[in-house]
Amino acid sequence: MELNLPTGEYIGGVYGVLKYIRSALSHIKPTKAIFVWDGGKSKRRVQMFPGYKASRQIAVDAESIKRRERYRSQRDILEKVLPQMGIRSRWLYGKEADDIIGRMVEDYKGKYDKVVVVSEDLDYAQLCDENVIIHFPIKGLDLTWGNFKATMGYDFEWHNIYRAVLGDGSDEIWGVKSVGPVTLLKWILKAESLKYPPSISSLVEVCKTEKGKKAEALIDNCEIVARNIDLMYMLAEEFTPREIETIKMWMDTPSYFTEDCVQVLSQYSFKSFLENFSTWSIPFRSLS
């Protein structure tokens, strides 16, 4: 089902984002919140792998134009209403949201009792730490340092290797063909049982004891796995001193809930949010 205004403007994305943000705020109860947007594509990754997000080049077919227009119009709405609801809405030119979030987690995990990343992207699991939680809003799951293995099936130290072998189709980072999550997990668990250290070479040693084309594919494509680890790593991006100062300013500058958001929500006919607004808005009102 699509949510459209009488004018035909699509607003389903805005509705969904606000719904999940409120759910996450109710669950986490943070003192500060920031919504980070992509500000471009990583030059480091493109130089390393020209095929990175290659199909996201601007297409001129009608469907692609429609998707871009929908995204832009909904982003405009969110960039207006989120600050009114106490949530910082930020981006840096030429930087991907993943890298900005990775940088922020590293900078702030020692300054706060708890840092929570809200996303359905499993790549963020690499940021998990003793006081860094990854909250998956659709799944309703908190990935923590304490439940990492029980949740993922393998030790934290294997995560980047696991993701690199499988790849990330949404970013066009292709993994080892024919190797799926079930087979890969079996190899990792075997490596763990043999007390092998988490590494590509350890996986290769396990695969040498296995039979079949899947094991051969892993052995023959170690370079792809190594490349993918670098491509998917969120803490390798370099930031200029000015960018670092900008990120610090984002968090140091207070952001409070205001009733101005009611006008925007009314304008776009979010009646379910407004029916009992004093209750619905409670999770936003404690932000600063």
pLDDT digits (tens, 9 = 90+) for 89-131: 999 999 999 999 999 999 999 999 999 999 999 999 999 999 9
Q: Which two tokens mark 65? A: 């134009």
Q: Is 277 contained in some domain?
A: no
Query: How large is the average pLDDT for residues 22-45?
Result: 96
* Structure confidence at residue 212 (pLDDT): 94
Q: Tell me which residue range forms the domain holding 194.
A: 154-234
Q: Is the pLDDT of residue 198 over 70?
A: yes
- Local structure of residue 141 (DSSP, 8 states): E
* Structure confidence at residue 5 (pLDDT): 64
Going edge to edge, which strands form the sheet with 115-118? 115-118, 132-136, 141-143
Q: Is 282 contained in some domain?
A: no
Q: Is 271 contained in some domain?
A: no
Rounded Cα distance between 104 and 126, Å, is 14
Q: Which residues pair with 142 in a beta bridge?
A: 135
| Residues 10, 80 within the same domain | yes
Q: Give the burial class of 225: count Cβ atoms within 10 A of its Cβ; 0-12 exposed, 13-18 middle, 19 or more buried.
A: buried
Rounded Cα distance between 152 and 160, Å, is 12
Higher pLDDT, 58 or 111: 111
Rounded Cα distance between 274 and 277, Å, is 5
| Residues 119, 253 within the same domain | yes
| Residues 66, 181 within the same domain | no
- Local structure of residue 129 (DSSP, 8 states): B
Check: CB of residue 74 under 8 Å from CB of residue 13: yes
* Structure confidence at residue 133 (pLDDT): 98
| Residues 137, 11 within the same domain | yes
Find the range with the poorest average confidence among 182-191, 236-245, 266-275: 266-275
Query: How large is the average pLDDT for residues 223-249?
Result: 97
| Residues 135, 256 within the same domain | yes
Q: Is the pLDDT of residue 58 over 80?
A: no
Q: Which residue from 114, 90, 120, 96 is spatially nearest to 23, judged by alpha carbons?
A: 120
Check: CB of residue 106 under 8 Å from CB of residue 113: no
Q: Which two tokens mark 237? A: 């991006």
Rounded to 5°, the CA angle 197-199-204 comes to 105
Q: Is the pLDDT of residue 56 over 80?
A: no
Q: Which two tokens mark 269? A: 């006919």
Q: Is the pLDDT of residue 287 over 70?
A: yes
Place of tokens 């009611």: 262
- In the chain, the N- to C-terminal Cα span, in Å, equals 35
Q: Is the pLDDT of residue 1 over 60?
A: no
* Structure confidence at residue 115 (pLDDT): 98
Beta strands 115-118 and 141-143, pairing class: unpaired
| Residues 146, 199 within the same domain | no
| Residues 44, 176 within the same domain | no
- Tell me the CATH number at 197: 1.10.150.20
* Structure confidence at residue 158 (pLDDT): 98
- Number of Cα atoms under 13 Å in the Cβ half of residue 146: 2
Reduce the DSSP state of residue 12 to 3 states and report it.
helix
Helix (H) or strand (E) holding 82: helix 62-84
Check: CB of residue 111 under 8 Å from CB of residue 101: no
- The domain total for the chain is 2
Q: Is the pLDDT of residue 57 over 80?
A: no
Per residue in 137-152, pLDDT (tens digit) is 999 999 999 999 999 9
| Residues 129, 161 within the same domain | no
Q: Is 109 contained in some domain?
A: yes
For residue 11, name the pLDDT band (cuts at 50, 70, 90).
Answer: confident
For residue 67, name the pLDDT band (cuts at 50, 70, 90).
Answer: confident
| Residues 163, 126 within the same domain | no
